[in-house]
Structure formats: C-alpha cells, structure tokens
C-alpha cells in the first residue's frame, strides 16, 4: 500500500503495516522534549499526585531556554526546579545552552523515522530531520511522560513543491511567510511535506525554519524527507547513525491531500504586518515604515545561517542612529561558531547589541521587549498583539536579510538593494 513519509512513521510507531488519514492511533514515543516554561513546573506536581515517574529517562530531553538567564527571583526558581527535577528523574539530557528546537538538532537527538512530541508549539522543527514531531500541552505531555505513548489522528499530507532555487536575499523564512499569506493559518489536520529542488538545496538550518513555521499555518506538523544533507548534519554531531534514506521517503504514488507548486526563483522577500503572520506580502508592497527596534533572534531566525545572512547585509555598514539592532543567537555553540568565523565581529562592528541565547524577546521575556507605540521588525515566527511586549506596540516579521536591511536604513526596505551594492 503506497504511503506518505508521515504515514510510514506513524504506522511503525503503532506497530501496524499501514495507517490512513483520519484514523486515531496510539504510538510509542522515540523522544519527548520539554522546556523550562511548559515542562517540570507544569508536570512535576501532576506526576507526584499520580505517584509516577518518567517511563524512560533516556528518551526525555529537558532544555531551559525561556527563563535563561534569570532576570528575577521567580525566573531563578523556575530554572532551579527544572534542573533539579531532571536530575531527580534520571534525565541525562538536560541543557541550558540554547533554544530547545535548536539544541535537539545540535546533539543529534532527532533522526529520520522517529515519532516524537515536544512541549512547545514549535516542536514541528524536528520534521527537518525526517521525523514526525508534534507539539502538545502540559496535560498531554504528562500522560506521555508516564506511559511513553500518545494518540494521534493520522494527518493528511499536503505537499509543498518548491522548484527552482531561491534567489540571493530570499530565505526559507520568506517561503513560510508567503505560505502563511496565501494558505492562511487554518490548515488543521494536515502535515506539510516539503520537497523539490529548492528544498534539496537548503541547509538544515533553513529546513528547520520551514518545519518550525508549519505551526503558524495551523498544521499538525511539517516534514522534509531525509537526504545526504540530513545525514551530513547528523554526522556533524559526532555520532554514528545508520540511516536508511530509502525507507523514509513518501512513495511515488502516495496519496497527497493537495500539492502546491511554487517557483522558488520568483519569490520576493516577504514581510508580515501586525498582528498576524498571515498578513504577509512582498516587501516591495511596503512604504518605508520607520522601525524602532530590529530583532534577530528565536528558533526561526537566529541560527548560524541566519546570522550569516544578517552579516552579509551588515558588512561594512552601520546600524541607523534612529533604530537599534538586537541579536540573540539560537545557541551557545552557534555563538562560538559565529565568533570563530568572524560573523559575530561583523554584526557587532555594525552596531548590533549581543544578547544571551534563549527565547527572550520572542516570548516577551527578558531583554528586548517593545514599549508602548514602538514599532519592531523581527525574525521571530509570531507577531501577535503583545507577543513581544506592550499590546500597543507593532511587530513586523521578516527574514534576517530584511531585518538587517531595516537596521541599516532605519525603515522597512528590500534587502536585495543593499546586497546588490556589494555584487
């Protein structure tokens, strides 16, 4: 029976030969991830009342990223609770050196064919490695921690076929903003599978962005069939993986619910206006709106490749005196890499202010929040009212290229114009 990649993964997890969209099945977990905000502080008391412990500590990853570094006593206590709970439960995979979705990939926790859940809405990031990974709330995570199982309604697979190749100054973030603008945020019951020449040419960091933002589409999750790039990224973690790439592909005659084809070469940089990612349109449609703060951060926009995009625009330039540029690399390892190769020096020489790795301003926590009437442009995934500070502020979403360009000009502008100056 022909099957999509997602259907194959779910079938394996629930011990069946095949599954069909719409069926409700129960699968055994290969991995469960939690962070400090929605993790132990939400589930510890529930497990205590149940008299239960984690079903398999080696399959649980806990990351502190929302309250790092602690800015007040409450934050410090949450971090201590998270760390102590992980130790008490025998969870060896505890980390506080980056954003959970990025740390998972850096350590090789997520691999092709795995069936995973995460206690965060952007857990679909794991799909970049050819895994099925969905986000869940604390109640479902509690049950999964005890049983090692979760139920799932088998989603319909929607294929996003990106032919051609993205032009200079255009990134995976632009692809996802375009999809939010054209398909909206009501795509429940679907998994978005990304393929085509343009996807095959993308780095793993860019594929993470594709899958991450399927949450903004309202989808169950996103997935990219694994290839040589996937294997290389796994091997870069220093571990040895035996990956059967042929086993984890959608069959040629698999039944997709829909197929959306796009010529990547024709895509322009996108910007989403307040207060929804669905308010996306080409940057060329915007007037030069003045910006108070430019933010390059979050799991969607501060990975090493994102920092390199920003540096490409900022090299030899200065941040406008009318705005400020804040950069929070997605992990400590990426900060180190950016420093070693000179990317960090380019960013700071331009006037960027370096912030600690973590969720920070993306989640309205710590440094970088917006005040009343301030206007920001950000590489984050969401721009809901009050998301990054005051409910009276306005947030535009864009790629690292476009955010860096806005930092130079002080207004929303087309990053390709600045890139062409150095061509």
Q: Cα separations (Å) of 61 from 58, 64, 383?
A: 8, 10, 28
Domains 5-264 and 270-421 share a fold: yes
Give the pLDDT confidence score for residue 243 in this predicted structure.
Answer: 76
Give the pLDDT confidence score for residue 239 in this predicted structure.
Answer: 74
- 5-264 adopts what CATH topology? Aconitase; domain 3 (3.30.499)
Give the pLDDT confidence score for residue 165 in this predicted structure.
Answer: 97
CA 360/CA 414 separation, integer angstroms: 27
Q: Are 403 and 298 in contact (CB under 8 A)?
A: no
DSSP class of residue 361 equals G
Give the pLDDT confidence score for residue 81 in this predicted structure.
Answer: 97
Break the chain into its structural domains and give their ranges: 5-264, 270-421
DSSP class of residue 121 equals T
Please list the ranges in the chain whose pLDDT falls under 50. Answer: none
- DSSP three-state, residue 98: strand
Q: How far is CA 366 from the centre of its chain?
A: 20
Global confidence as pTM: 0.97
Q: Is domain 270-421 in CATH 3.30.499.10, yes or no?
A: yes
Q: How far is CA 402 from the centre of its chain?
A: 18
Give the pLDDT confidence score for residue 423 in this predicted structure.
Answer: 61
DSSP H or E segment with residue 28: strand 24-28
Using alpha carbons only, how large is the chain's radius of gyration in Å? Answer: 21
Q: Cα separations (Å) of 104 from 51, 94, 237, 410?
A: 29, 11, 11, 35
**Residue 142, Cβ density class (10 Å: 0-12 exposed, 13-18 middle, ≥19 buried):** buried
Q: What is the DSSP string of 136-189?
A: --HHHHHHHHHHSEEEEEPPEEEEEEEES-PPTT--HHHHHHHHHHHH-S--TT
Give the pLDDT confidence score for residue 422 in this predicted structure.
Answer: 72
What order do you get walking across the sheet with 190-195 strand by strand? 221-223, 190-195, 156-163, 258-263
DSSP class of residue 249 equals S
Give the tens place of pLDDT for each residue, 302-334: 999 999 999 999 999 999 999 999 999 999 999
């Amino acid at each position: 029976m022909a099957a999509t990649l997602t259907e194959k993964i779910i079938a394996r997890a629930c011990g069946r030969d095949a599954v069909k969209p719409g069926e409700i099945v129960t699968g055994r977990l290969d991995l469960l991830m939690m962070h400090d905000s929605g993790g132990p502080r939400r589930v510890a008391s529930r497990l205590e009342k149940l008299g239960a412990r984690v079903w398999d500590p080696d399959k649980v990853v806990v990351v502190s990223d929302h309250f790092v570094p602690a800015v007040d006593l409450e934050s410090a206590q949450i971090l201590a609770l998270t760390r102590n709970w992980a130790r008490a439960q025998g969870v060896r995979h505890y980390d506080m050196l980056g954003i959970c979705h990025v740390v998972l990939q850096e350590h090789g926790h997520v691999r092709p064919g795995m069936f995973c859940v995460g206690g965060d809405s952007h857990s679909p990031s794991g799909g970049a490695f050819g895994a099925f990974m969905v986000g869940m709330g604390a109640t479902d995570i509690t049950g999964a921690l005890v049983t090692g199982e979760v139920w799932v309604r088998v989603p319909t697979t929607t294929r996003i076929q990106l032919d051609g190749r993205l032009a200079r100054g255009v990134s995976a973030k632009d692809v996802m903003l375009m999809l939010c603008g054209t398909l909206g945020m009501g795509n429940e019951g679907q998994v978005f599978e990304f393929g085509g020449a343009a996807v095959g040419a993308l780095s793993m960091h860019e594929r993470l962005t594709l899958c991450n933002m399927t949450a903004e589409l309202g989808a169950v999750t996103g997935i990219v069939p694994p290839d040589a790039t996937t294997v290389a990224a796994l091997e870069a973690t220093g571990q040895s993986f035996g990956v059967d790439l042929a086993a984890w592909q959608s069959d040629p005659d698999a039944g997709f619910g829909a197929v959306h084809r796009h010529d990547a070469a024709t895509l322009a940089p996108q910007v989403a206006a307040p207060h929804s990612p669905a308010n996306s349109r080409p940057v060329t449609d915007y007037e030069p709106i003045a910006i108070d703060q430019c933010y390059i951060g979050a799991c969607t926009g501060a990975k090493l490749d994102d920092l390199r995009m920003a540096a490409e625009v900022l090299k030899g330039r200065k941040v406008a005196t009318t705005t400020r540029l804040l950069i929070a690399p997605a992990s400590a390892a990426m900060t180190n890499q950016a420093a070693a190769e000179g990317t960090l020096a380019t960013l700071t020489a331009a006037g960027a202010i370096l912030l600690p790795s973590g969720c920070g301003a993306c989640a309205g926590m710590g440094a970088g929040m917006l005040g009343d009437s301030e206007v920001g442009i950000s590489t984050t995934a969401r721009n809901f009212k009050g998301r990054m500070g005051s409910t009276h502020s306005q947030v535009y979403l864009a790629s690292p290229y476009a955010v860096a360009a806005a930092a130079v000009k002080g207004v929303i502008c087309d990053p390709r114009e600045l890139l062409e100056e150095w061509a």
